Structure 1
Amino acid sequence: MSAESLTYIITGILLVQYAVETLLEYLNARRFNATPPKEVEGLYDPEEYQRSQAYKKANYRFGLLSGALSTFGLVAFLLLGGFGWADQLAASVSDDPLIQAILFFGILYLGADLLSTPLGLYHTFVIEARFGFNKTTPALYWADKAKGWALALVLGGGLLTAIMAFYQWAGTAFWLYAWGLITLFSVLMNLWYSRLIVPLFNRQEPLEDGPLKEKIEQYARQVGFELQKIFVIDGSRRSTKANAYFSGFGSQKRVTLYDTLIRDLEADEVVAVLAHEVGHYRRRHILINLLASTALTGLTLFVLSVFINHPELSRALGVQNPSFHAALLSFGLLYSPISEATGLIMNIFSRRFEFQADAYARDTFAAEPLIRSLKKLSRNHLSNLTPHPAYVFMHYSHPPLAARIAHLRHPAPD
């Protein structure tokens, strides 16, 4: 297949994905005013409901703008030779393929970030602030941005350099070594993310002694779950929204609670949220997701190894001198429909896992505290109570609130 044909295919993929996403967003927006399911009736009072409607509409309009700018900007950059220009600029600095690759992706990363930053600033300091969510200061925003750049350079640049070194050494068999490296990186990040990465952005402190800690420890003893590491993260520095998550496994497992979660929920509701997270661990969802991600990474790298030496991949981006880095980017764009399909499958399993974790919390603790916590979090986040089924199917990693409540109160066979 010619490079010109591949260019048109890439353009077509980008435009079709944009059209599908815009249609899904439109269908979802059409249901903003639908009658909420009986499970969530009365969740908002009239004033809160109007506020939630305004928030959803503001995000919908913002999504349309940002989606159009990113898609048509990328298409224009492709068709006007932007990738070829970035490659020439990188080649003018160094003849070393590794340095060229890092410069090439660095130019693209910085360019995309500079273009997206005004949108990010507007969303954070206008939309989120207008509805009372934003707590990020300008200084904190730019500090986070600088740290993100540094991590992208160290982690992203390091992985890219290693993968290219494998390619230069092993040829098309590079994918096996790259797969092993990425798998090792994923495992280490799962184990040490909370210790190495999170402290760069947030403060974490052990949960202080008191009634909440006693209730959590009592529940952990009840279900025979060894839990010595419970941390509180200062999520309120950036947002009023609350969350909790489980990380690591074995002796490195830990639960992290946002300070906003502890502030917004009663003690038994926090324990119910914790029981849900323990359910993920007990049902081996973390391990299953890690194994699935590893398998998908291996498949992707193998397919990449089959096509990486085709010069048409590089030329499809307007890069006249074929290179690993240009072929890698071109392959990523061509492979994106498959990535979308695998992401959809992962979302299906993720929603099933959420039901299973809810069931674990219900069976080992209680349903009603978890239902109350879900309602409070949904109300505090101004969540959409009436999402379109097609939008849920394509994008939701968690079931809608009404479905979770119905499942908690009227469990179906697992």
Structure 2
Amino acid sequence: MDQESLKYLLMGIITLTFIFDKTINFLNINRGIGEVPKTLDEYLSREKLTESRRYQQTNYTFGLYTGGFTFLLTLIFIGFGFFGWLDEWLREFGLTGIPLSLVYFGVLFIGSDVLSIPFDYYHTFKIEEDFGFNKTTVKTFFTDKIKGYLLSIAIGGTLLAILVWLIMEIGQDFWWIFWLIAALFMLFVNMFYAGLVLPLFNKLTPLEDGELKNTIMDYARSVEFPLENVFVMDGSKRSSKANAFFSGLGKRKKVVLFDTLLEQHTTEELVAVLAHEIGHYKKGHIRTGMITGILQTGIILYILSLFIFSEQISYALGGNQMAIHLNIIGFTMLFSPISTILGIFMNCLSRKNEFEADAFAKKTYSGQPLAEALKTLSVKSLSNINPHPLYVFVNYSHPPLLSRLARLE
């Protein structure tokens, strides 16, 4: 395919992806809210249901503006060859090889993030604030940005440098070596994220001794789950929304509860939520997810190796010569339809796992307190209780609330 045809193909893929995403969002937001289900009578009023829809519509409109801005900017960059122009401009400073690729991606990353700051700021301090969710201060907002930049430079820059070096030194066979490196990195992050990365943004403290901790430990022993401690995270530092998650492998397992979760739920409900998280571990979901992610990474890297030395991709993006960084950008655009399909598959798998974790909690503890916890979480976060089936199929990593309640109750 010649460079001009490839350029229009890239623009076509970007356009179709945008239309597909916004179409299913439109279907979802225009689906009737219906009546308050009987199972939610005690939790959800008609006024709260209306407020939930208003929150979703506000985010939908905001997403149209932000997504449309990104979409148009990307089309302009492709159509006018700005990706290639940036490559040529940086070469004028004598940059080549790995330094060129690092600076190139650094400029794009920082530039795109700086452009997104006004949107992020508005969403945090206007939309989330208006609906009573925001707890973030201006200082925390910008501190998070700076920390994110430093982490991206340290970790992302290192991985990118290794990738480019392998491509330059080994050629198309780079993919399997970098796959091994990526797999080790994924394992490392999974094991040490809660201990090394998370504390940079949030404070983790062991759950205090008392009824809740004793009940949790008793339950963990009853299902033969080796749990040394449960940690509480200061999620209220940024939002009133609550959550819980499981991190780590082997002896480095950590269960983390948001402090907002502790404020909103009874002891029974909290243990049920924990039982759900332990269910993921007991059912092998953590291990399966890791293996699936590693396999998916290997497939992506292999396909990338087929395109990495294509002059046509670099020329299609406005370059005057083949450039590894241009080809990586072009590949991500060409791969986006496959990425969408893989994302749908992963979401289907995730929803199945959520049902299994719910069933584990119901069998080993109790279904009713978990159902009550889900109701509280959903209502307080203004979740959509009647999403469009197509939107669920494409985007939901968790089953809709009413589907989960039907099995638990």
Return 319-328 or 338-347, whichever deviates more.
Answer: 319-328
Partner of 1:85: 85
For residues 379-390 of structure 1, the aligned pairs below 5 Å read: 379-390=379-390
Instruction: Indicate the larger mover: 238-247 or 72-81.
Output: 72-81
Aligned to 2:287: 287
Q: Establish whether residue 11 from structure 1 lines up as the match of residue 6 from structure 2.
A: no
Unaligned runs of 5+ in 2: none
Deviation at 1:46, TM superposition (A): 2.9
Cα offset, 1:67, TM superposition: 1.3
Q: Which amino acid aligns with 1:29?
A: I
Q: Please give the alpha-carbon distance, in whole angstroms, between the structure 1 residues aligned to 2:406 and 2:346.
A: 23
Question: Which residue type is aligned with residue 233 of structure 2?
Answer: I
Listed one character per residue, the Cα deviations across residues 229-266 of structure 1 (whole Å, up to 9, x for unaligned) are: 31100000000000000011111111000000011110
CA contact (8 A) 1:86 1:107 kept: no
Residue identity opposite 2:109 in structure 1: Y
Give, in angstroms, the shift of residue 36 of structure 1. 4.7
1:126-181 alpha-carbon deviations (Å, 9 max, x no partner): 00000100000000000000011111111111100001111122111110111011
> Alpha-carbon deviation of 1:89?
2.6
Native 8 Å contact 1:269 1:369 kept in 2: yes
Q: Distance in 1 between matches of 2:386 and 2:37?
A: 8
Q: Equivalents in 2 of 1:102, 1:37: separation in Å?
A: 53
Q: Deviations over 1:278-306 (max 9, x none)?
A: 00000111111111111111111111112
Distance 1:260 1:315 in 2: 52
Q: Secondary structure at the match of 1:245?
A: strand
SS of 1:95's partner is coil
Counterparts of 1:96-135 in structure 2, within 5 Å, are 96-135=96-135
Match of 2:401 in 1: 401
Secondary structure (helix, strand or coil) at the match of 2:75 reads: helix
Letter in 1 for 2:107: I
Change (3 A) 1:39 1:10: farther
Show the counterpart of 2:371.
Answer: 371
CA positional deviation for 1:41: 4.7
Structure 1's 19 and 31: CA in aligned 2 closer, same or farther, altered over 3 A?
same
Question: Who is 1:237 aligned against?
Answer: 237
Q: CA deviation at 1:43?
A: 3.4
Equivalent residue number for residue 137 of structure 1: 137
Secondary structure of the 2:205 match is strand
8 Å Cα contact 2:84/2:314 also seen in 1: no
Secondary structure of 1:144's counterpart equals helix
Contact 2:36 2:49 in 1 (8 A): no
Query: Match for residue 392 of structure 2?
Result: 392
Counterpart position of 1:154? 154
Consecutive unaligned residues of structure 1, counting only runs of 5 or more, are 410-414
Q: Is the 1:84–1:320 contact (alpha carbons within 8 Å) kept by the matching residues of 2?
A: yes
Give the whole-Å Cα distance in 2 for the aligned partners of 1:48 and 1:281: 35
State the partner residue of 1:324: 324
| Distance in 2 of aligned mates of 1:19 and 1:244 | 34
Aligned to 2:275: 275
Tell me, in whole angstroms, the C-alpha distance in 1 between the residues paired with 2:397 and 2:209: 34
Question: Is contact 1:272–1:365 with CA below 8 Å preserved after alignment?
Answer: yes
Aligned counterparts of 1:186 and 1:160: Cα–Cα separation in 2: 15
Equivalent position amino acid for 2:248 in 1: G
Stretch deviating more after TM superposition (396-405 or 169-178): 169-178
Displacement of 1:95 in angstroms is 3.1
1:94 partnered with 2:89? no
User: Could you tell me which residue of structure 1 aligns to residue 310 of structure 2?
Assistant: 310
- Residue 412 (structure 1) aligns with: none
Instruction: Give the conservation status (yes or no) of the 8 Å contact 1:344–1:395.
Output: yes
Helix, strand or coil at the partner of 2:92: helix
> Within 2, Cα distance between the matches of 1:306 and 1:49?
50
TM-score, normalised with respect to structure 1: 0.97
Q: Is the 8 A contact 1:241 1:381 kept in 2?
A: yes
CA distance in 2, matches of 1:71, 1:36: 37
| Percent of residue pairs identical | 42
- The 2-side partners of 1:132 and 1:264 are apart by 15
CA contact (8 A) 2:6 2:316 kept: yes
* Conservation of the 8 A alpha-carbon contact between 1:229 and 1:253: no
Q: What is the CA deviation profile of residues 84-136 of structure 1, one whole-angstrom value per residue up to 9, with x for unaligned ones?
A: 22212321233331011011111111111111111101100000000100000
C-alpha deviation, 1:42, in angstroms: 5.2
Give 1:72 deviation, angstroms.
Answer: 1.2
Question: Counterparts of 2:35 and 2:69 in 1: how far apart (Å)?
Answer: 33
- Cα deviation, 1:39-96, whole Å, max 9, x if unaligned, reads 4455312332232122111111111111111111111121122212221232123333
Q: Letter of the 1:173 partner, please give it.
A: D
The answer to whether the Cα contact below 8 Å between 2:36 and 2:45 also exists between their aligned partners in 1 is no
CA–CA distance in structure 1, aligned partners of residues 302 and 87 of structure 2 = 25
1:352 is aligned to 2:352: yes
Change (3 A) 1:293 1:18: same
Question: Which residue does the alignment assign to 2:30?
Answer: 30
